[in-house]
Chains A and B, each alone.
Chain A
Amino acid sequence: MYPGRFEYQAPTTLEEALATLDRYGDEGKVLAGGQSLLPLMKLRFASPRALVDINRVAGLDRLAEEDGELRIGALVRHRDCERSELLGGRWGVLADAAPQISDPIVRNLGTVAGSLAHADPQGDWGSALLAADARVVAASAGGRREIPLDELLLGPFTTALEPNEIITEVRVPDPGARAAGTYLKLERRVGDFATVAVAVHVSFADGTVSRAGIALTAVGPRNLRATDAEAALAGAPLDDEAIREAARLAAGAAEPRDDVRGSADYKRNVVRVFVERGLRMAARPEERGDVPRAAAAPPGRPEPSEEFAGEETAEDVMKEIREKEDQ
């Protein structure tokens, strides 16, 4: 397979890139990592007249913390996020999402900003960054504007970006001194899209939740925010009861559909279990294990235990199932 014919432009400055894109109007596409765009072009789902390759534009590969904010440039690859010291701790939701995106080879090229511009409802960054309350800087020949992620993502593969705009940077606000989160993803195998994934990002102040971000992957026409669950958590202590109620509300916010990866009911249940797990990890970050490498264990068939007993591993779940079978 190969793409249809197109014109190729490789500008070396942002100004030149924006002018070029402006010239092509809606017939041009930005090429960053290309890990979603090129497969679409090979399958002829996309046939742009021109590609504007921004890989030779200097200065877009910056990943840095500035004034407490995290700034992710247009050419920052998933791999860069996976290896950055900046993303752990308070931005645990981003650190846990990065190594679960596609596979290690794709992560060498694919970009965070490109993933947002692609707006796949099964995309991982959309949820992780929604939970973290991120916004993007969109530049065009006419100027630049900031778009909150909630307003950027409109529907499947549809964003609020104009055809002549490039996301130059993703900005993630300072979550405060005490914050924790995670990204839990259920996938059939490495490199598959999520069956369901959940992003959780919680800021604390004076022993209560000052802000909770919860977003859901692959259970709706776009990455969804579980706004009722977020509102229920704000201002209260993150105790077992609050966690269970938030998980119930988040499951209600999901709009899953039956498909080859699972039934709608199953996916809704995974949302509930993952939100519960994610919030418990946020409540006690010191007890969490290595999320991506242990892989988020599929929800066990038995009801989740009422009492949280530290990190739940796949072995724990299997043991629990066997014990129930023995009874």
Chain B
Amino acid sequence: MSATVSGETAETTHAITVTLNRQERSAEVEPRLLLVHFLRGTLGLTGTHVGCDTTSCGACTVLLDGKPIKSCTFLAVQADGREVTTVEGLVRDGGLHPIQEGFKEEHGLQCGFCTPGMMLTATALLAENPNPSEEEIRWALSGNVCRCTGYQNIVKAVQWAAAKMAEEGR
């Protein structure tokens, strides 16, 4: 921990180690650094998007220990010792994850801005419930906003991924 003097508040940076996409990453961070800025700015992983920046849209969704959270409303320092998965971590063995294939096959995106968040939320849903109903998919994705009004195909993309994963026995 190194002390820095900044304004009236004596601020210290904190050493954190995060298991990011199955790899340990360490850094010194200011407490006020948001997880999304840590991912995009410090680590250069720009697949996680900043949308509304007010905890409403879900574009910045990442998985924290397997559960979707909004990385604009979580401090990087809170992620110390925990496991974070971003869209970059979905790729396995150099190939697309079934959820990524599903979005491609079913045209689950138009502009693509909400897509990383959608895919991470969907991945967490399928891990818990491999064969969700349409209603369960819509319910699970209700915190992720798409402004191209592409929900119809997003739901189909998740169903496509569920079928593919069942077939592959994943």
Contacts and interface: CB of A to CB of B under 8 A. Distances in A.
Contacts of B34: 2, 42
Interface stretch (B94-102, B104-112, B137-145, B152-160): B137-145
Given A34-B73, A38-B74, A7 B143 contact: no
B139 A38 contact: no
B70 A5 contact: no
Interface of B is mostly: mixed
A176 interface: no
Is the interface on chain A under 10, 10 to 19, 20 to 34, or 35 or more residues? 20 to 34
A308 interface: no
A104 B6 contact: no
Given A2-B34, A53-B78, A104-B142, A7 B12 contact: yes
A108 B69 CA distance: 7
A38 B9 contact: no
B68 A2 contact: no
A109 B68 CA distance: 9
B14 A6 contact: no
A67 B14 CA distance: 43
Contact of B55 (A8, A35, A104, A108): A35
24 contacts: A1-B54, A4-B32, A5-B11, A5-B32, A6-B31, A6-B32, A7-B10, A7-B31, A8-B31, A8-B75, A34-B73, A34-B75, A38-B73, A49-B9, A102-B143, A103-B142, A104-B68, A105-B70, A105-B121, A105-B143, A106-B55, A190-B143, A191-B143, A293-B139
Interface of B: 6-7, 9-12, 14, 30-34, 37, 53-56, 58, 61, 64, 67-70, 72-75, 77-78, 80, 121, 135, 139-140, 142-144
